[in-house]
Every structure is written in structure tokens, then in C-alpha cells.
Amino acid sequence: MAGNLHAVSARSNGPEAIIQQLFPKATRIGAKLSDFPVYPVYQLQQLLGYAYESTDLSDLPGFAGKPIKLMIGLDAEGRFSGVKVLDHHEPVFLHGLGPQPLLDFVSQYAGHSLTESFVLGHKPRAPGVNSGTVHIDGVTKATVSVIIINDTILSTALQVARSKLESFALPPAARVRETFYEPLTPLQLFERDYLQRWQLERPAVERALGQALDSYAPFNQSSGDGELSTQLFSELYFSYLNAPIIGRNVLGDGAYQSLMQSLGKGDQVIAVWSRGPYLHSADDFKPGSVSERLGLAQQDLAIELRDLNALDEGQLLELEGLPEMERVHLFRIKGLAGFNPAAGSELRLNVELSRNHLVRDIASFSHAFQFPPQLFELVEQASVPAAKSPIWLTIWQDRWWQVAILLASLGLLTTLFVGQRRWVTMGAWLTRTRWMFLTFTLLFIGFYAQGQLSVVNIYTLLLALYEGFDITLFLLDPVIFILWSYTFISLFLWGRGLYCGWLCPFGALQEMLSWLAAKLKIRQWRISPRWHRRGLWLKYLLLVGLVSTAFASLSLAERLAEVEPFKTSITLGFDRYWPFVLYALALLALGLFVHKFYCRYLCPLGAGLAIIGRLRRFSWLDRIDLCGAPCQRCRHRCGIGAIRRDGSVDYDECIQCLECVIILHDPGQCVAALQRRKQRTSSPTPVPAEGPQPLAPRLSGLPARPR
């Protein structure tokens, strides 16, 4: 036995030294157990707890495709003694924000118990008050990484607790009886205890808070309200929807089937209705999230209830024959949580009320319950599926509205591009629309939703194709995933221009600065055609250099990708070590003198897009025979210099701003149209009526030719 134990000394290296930091009182650290990969930690003969490496229990990949390796300490009571970061590849903590925010983030778990509910990303409203809910502050700009780390810590700790801590061991698990069904009304479900009720009266709440409810703002303002004059504080009805006799009767057969099919393996659903002055979710509750008010626990272990966002807004799932409810949610319990629906459980309601702007009082209430045993059949624990629902799905649910806005904007953009021959005749209106879109791109896609694509995404994709493609890695960031998918498809239709001219936040920022330069009448530098042509190759050289480095050393390539100013300017909003800020500002300043300097000569991402864009199927930009010979108007007006002397478009450089086609369709601007008008007015033969239509290339008799 002694051979398996390490006496702790100051000279310890490897895991023991880190475990010692997690358990300062440890006198002995056992070797990693063979039946379950944890290190037992002792103070003399007393077991203090267990330490383990997260990668032994979870292979959840981080944002860079590699798991984040943590050493986690869990004491014998199921309380975190600490979390240490052993290894990670998260780009934002390696080269962006630096390691400190990551260390600060993981330090928040120490001292908290698995019996508490962990809520990520909410600031505590009343620090120091124990309501059974732990608020873990997220890290702005690293949302995906911290969601992954939080999931890794909690899911692995739960596995250790279930396996090693007696008080967390599960009783025999149960599964629903699929054939147990008969049509029942909500009232009958209630009478048979399939639908349960929990009433909380005002006196009980007042006793717990130590204050009359009238002292709190929502109550003292509505003393005349009939409902508040009753004793009711909150009335909750809840039920276990996986049981067919409940789910089918509450939802209807079709909705029940589709709900069950939409769940991950082992997932369970609890429906909660409520009415009264204090509902089970706050008015600002975000669909798809965890309610700060409501909790579930089994064997004192908190179990996450996350809104499924499965009901339409305002849909109440009427409980005919029972009091009219004000709010209802369907909450999902993850399969991995090990919730046993047949065992006794506790519903918790956290009451938080403010007396004024400064003082808030909190009290926590719980209600023990058990669903009727006839709903279930017992199964051996080993056969209970414990698959976890994928974390990418949780992230998509959390960011659903960002996804919705992005998809709607991409739909609009597609409509605009598909019908561009119609829209370009609207001239200034289309130009204004593009400026509005660029503003949206910079503010929403760039600064808010962090949707700036980068050459690093190209490395990740190429490496994934080389080492074995796993789409879940790319699904971790829904905004980037959607933008990449959309951009990739658009490359085969319109070339690189749709992304570079409409969707790139840094590109939009540069265009805005060019606009400012024009307003300030800043004199533009003339770059000779020879140097311009040479300069265009620079970005391709950078791309080749970066991609080949990525195959040799990903971390070096990630550091070299700092040639892109995106992380400094868009991702971190210039909040970074000054040399990075100076570099980004210098590039933007150059853009004041040379239109989109960075895009034209340096951007490796733009180069990569241009290479793939060569496979585009169509050349949508109309040209006519007079373009280039002799007319040069569009060429001079193209800010990016993507029109050749012969009038043809260089699609490798074109950003699809559509300005040249707007000119072509504008009878007041297109030189060819002006010339024809002049000829017609001097001709003795009758001329067709003036108007925009005859000047459109396809109608004017001038051959339109995409070039």
C-alpha cells in the first residue's frame, strides 16, 4: 500500500505538486486509481478528497480543437477545493486576453459545493448571501471557451462524486413505462399525483425574509390588487413529461412525439407552470437559459433545469379544470445529470426581493416530492444511458437570437445579390443600403457577436481535414460557423467580394475610414500600377507562409496570425497591450491615405478567399463594349482598383460594392448612356422616350457582357 502513496514534500514534481496546492493540508497523495482515474488525497489516515485530470474523464474539445486540461480537486463532501489549468490551446487566452482571465475564471469554483446550482455569466446581485445558486462570472470575448470549461468542470466532478462519494451515489435508476397510458384530463392527472402542486403562502415568505412583503417594491405598489390581497405568494404545478401518460395528455400525441425525438439520449423534461405574485422565472428570463429562481435537487445534489425553449411565446399549455396559470416552461434535465425520476427529489424556489435600490433580501424554499412509482420501472443502474447532450447544442440555444438575427441578415443579403440586376437600377438607394449593412456588420457581427473570420479558421479547417474532420469542433461557435458556411458557398457564386465587401467587420471599418478621409479631403497616395501589382502578391505570400507554418507548429502559426489586426481591433475592441494596438491603428491610418490598404496588400484571409473564389460559377457584374474602350469612368471610381484598363473586372480583388454597375445603369452617370443620349438629341430620326430603362444594357441594345 505504501508503495502506491507519495509522501508530499516540497520537492514534489508532476501532479503531486499541483494536488498539494489544491489540498494544502494533504500529507499523502495516492497513485491514480486503476478502477477510476482519480488521485485519493489524505491527511494522515483521513481521506480529504480526490484530485483528477479532467482529460481522463472528458474529451470535450476546446475552441482550438484540443481538450482543455485541468486538475480539479473535490473534497469528501463534494466541495471544490480548487481548479488548476494544466494545458490549453484556447487562442483568446494564449494570444488575446492573456492567461490571467482564465486563471481568475477557474478560481471561482473553489469552496463551492456540487449541491449548489451553478449559473454561468450572471453577476451576483447580493454578494455573500447563500441562496443555493453560485454565479460564475464569464469572460467577455471568451464566451465559448468558458462554457466549455464550465461544462468540463461540472460534468467531470459529477462523475467523480457519483462514483467515489457515498453521499452522491445513485439509488437504482428508473425508466418510464412506455405502455402505461390512458386519456386523462389535467384535473385527473392532478388527482392521481401525476401533476403536482406546490403552494407558497405569504406568511411563510415573510417569516423567512424577516420583513412584511409590503416592504418590497412590487408588493407595496399594488395593495389594491385583488390577487395580492390573498395569502398566495406563488403557486407552482409541475410534472414529468417523459411519462407518456403525462406527456401525451398535456401536449397531445404529435407534440409529445416530436419533443421526445428532439431530446438528447437520456434527457428528461419537467414542465413547470406558475401563477401568483412571484412566478418561477423573472420577467427578463432569457429563453433557453437557466432560471435563477427555480432549482431541482436530488440527494442534495443540484440538478440543472434548462429551458428547452420549446413553446411559442405566450403559449400557456392550459390546465383545464385547474386554476389559470400565468407562465409555463419546459425544462430539460441532461442525461448526464443522473436524475432518477422515481426517487424523491426537491424543487427549490429562490426568492429575491428588493426593498430599494440598495437593499435586497433573499430566501430559499424547497418542496420535497416524488412522482408515483407506477409511472416507472426500475432498471439496473449500469444500463441507464448517461449520454450527455452535446455542448454545441447548449451554445446554439444560448445564442439563438444572435443566430436568428444573423440568418435574417444573410437572407436579406442573398436576396440583394440574387436580384442585383434589379436593385442596381435604384442607384443611391442601394448605396445607402450597403452603408447600413456595413454598419450592422461592424457593430453587430463584429463587436457584438464576435463574428470576425480569420486566417486561423483556415488553419483549423485544413488541420481538421488532415487529422480527421469533426464538425462538432466547428459548431462550437454558431456565428463563425454560419458565416464560414455562408461565405464558403458564396465564393462559388460571387467570389470573395460578398464577404470582403459586405460581411467583414474590419473591412467595413476600413471603408468607413475611407469615407471619413474623403469627407476630410485627405489627399490619397498614388501607387504606381507596377508597385500595386507587386503589392498584391504580398498577401498571397503571407498566406502560404502562415498555412505552411500551421502544419509545422500550430501555436507558432497562431502567434504569426497577429499580422491580422482583427483580434486587437474587432475581438478585443483595442483593449490590449499597446504594441498590438499601435499596429492595428497604424494599418487603419494607412487606410486613410490608400483605400483599404490592408485588404489590398496584406490580408492573408482575403488572399485565401480570392483563391477559392476563382472557382466561382458566375461573373455577375455587367459590362458593356464601351467599358474600357474608351470609357474609363468605372475604373476611376472603383476605390479598390479592381477594374482593369480594358474595362474587365478583376474578381480576385473586387469587393462587390456594386458601384460600377450602379454607374452603368445610371443614365446620368454612364458615359455610354450620355453619349447615346447626345446622339439621339442631335439625330433627325424620332428617339424613344427618355428614362432609365433604355439605358439598362440589356434593353438599350448595348450588349451586356460580364467580364
Residues at the interface with ligand SF4 (CB under 6 A): 500, 504, 506-507, 598-599, 603, 605-606, 621, 638, 640, 642-643, 649, 654-660
Query: What is the nearest approach in angstroms of ligand SF4 to the Cβ of residue 638?
Result: 3
Which strand ranges, in their side-by-side order, compose the sheet holding 80-87? 5-7, 28-30, 39-43, 46-53, 69-75, 80-87
Angstrom distance (rounded) from CA 612 to CA 274: 55
Query: What is the nearest approach in angstroms of ligand SF4 to the Cβ of residue 552?
Result: 24
Q: Are the C-beta atoms of 524 and 593 separated by less than 8 Å?
A: yes
Angstrom distance (rounded) from CA 24 to CA 232: 49
Which of residues 25 and 636 has its CB atom nearest to ligand SF4 in the complex?
Answer: 636
Q: Enter the DSSP assignment of 290.
A: B
Name the one residue in this structure whose C-alpha cell is 454545441: 392
Whether cis (ω within 30° of 0) applies to the bond prior to 15 is no
Query: What is the nearest approach in angstroms of ligand SF4 to the Cβ of residue 536?
Result: 11
Query: What is the nearest approach in angstroms of ligand SF4 to the Cβ of residue 668?
Result: 17
Query: Of 668, 669, 640, nearest to 656 (Cα)?
Result: 640
Which of residues 500 and 670 has its CB atom nearest to ligand SF4 in the complex?
Answer: 500
Query: What is the nearest approach in angstroms of ligand SF4 to the Cβ of residue 441?
Result: 10
Query: What is the nearest approach in angstroms of ligand SF4 to the Cβ of residue 634?
Result: 6
Which of residues 310 and 663 has its CB atom nearest to ligand SF4 in the complex?
Answer: 663
Which strand ranges, in their side-by-side order, compose the sheet holding 195-201? 195-201, 232-240, 268-275, 327-333, 306-307
Q: Are the C-beta atoms of 323 and 235 separated by less than 8 Å?
A: yes
Which of residues 306 and 616 has its CB atom nearest to ligand SF4 in the complex?
Answer: 616
Grid cell digits, residue 225: 390588487
- CA 153 to each of CA 147, 158, 576, 594: distance values in angstroms, whole numbers, following the listed order: 10, 9, 29, 49
Query: What is the nearest approach in angstroms of ligand SF4 to the Cβ of residue 570?
Result: 10
Which of residues 406 and 655 has its CB atom nearest to ligand SF4 in the complex?
Answer: 655
Which of residues 351 and 599 has its CB atom nearest to ligand SF4 in the complex?
Answer: 599
Q: Are the C-beta atoms of 298 and 343 separated by less than 8 Å?
A: yes
Query: Of 327, 330, 468, 358, nearest to 125 (Cα)?
Result: 358
Query: What is the nearest approach in angstroms of ligand SF4 to the Cβ of residue 642?
Result: 4
Q: Enter the DSSP assignment of 175.
A: E
Amino acid at 326: E
Query: What is the nearest approach in angstroms of ligand SF4 to the Cβ of residue 97?
Result: 22
Which of residues 132 and 545 has its CB atom nearest to ligand SF4 in the complex?
Answer: 545
Which of residues 337 and 498 has its CB atom nearest to ligand SF4 in the complex?
Answer: 498
Which of residues 49 and 641 has its CB atom nearest to ligand SF4 in the complex?
Answer: 641
Give the number of other Cβ atoms within 10 Å of residue 64's Cβ: 22
Question: For 476-508, b where at least 16 C-beta lie within 10 A, e where not — what string?
Answer: bbbbbbbbbebbeebbeebbbbbbbbbbbbbbb
Angstrom distance (rounded) from CA 135 to CA 119: 5
Query: What is the nearest approach in angstroms of ligand SF4 to the Cβ of residue 244?
Result: 53
Which of residues 153 and 643 has its CB atom nearest to ligand SF4 in the complex?
Answer: 643
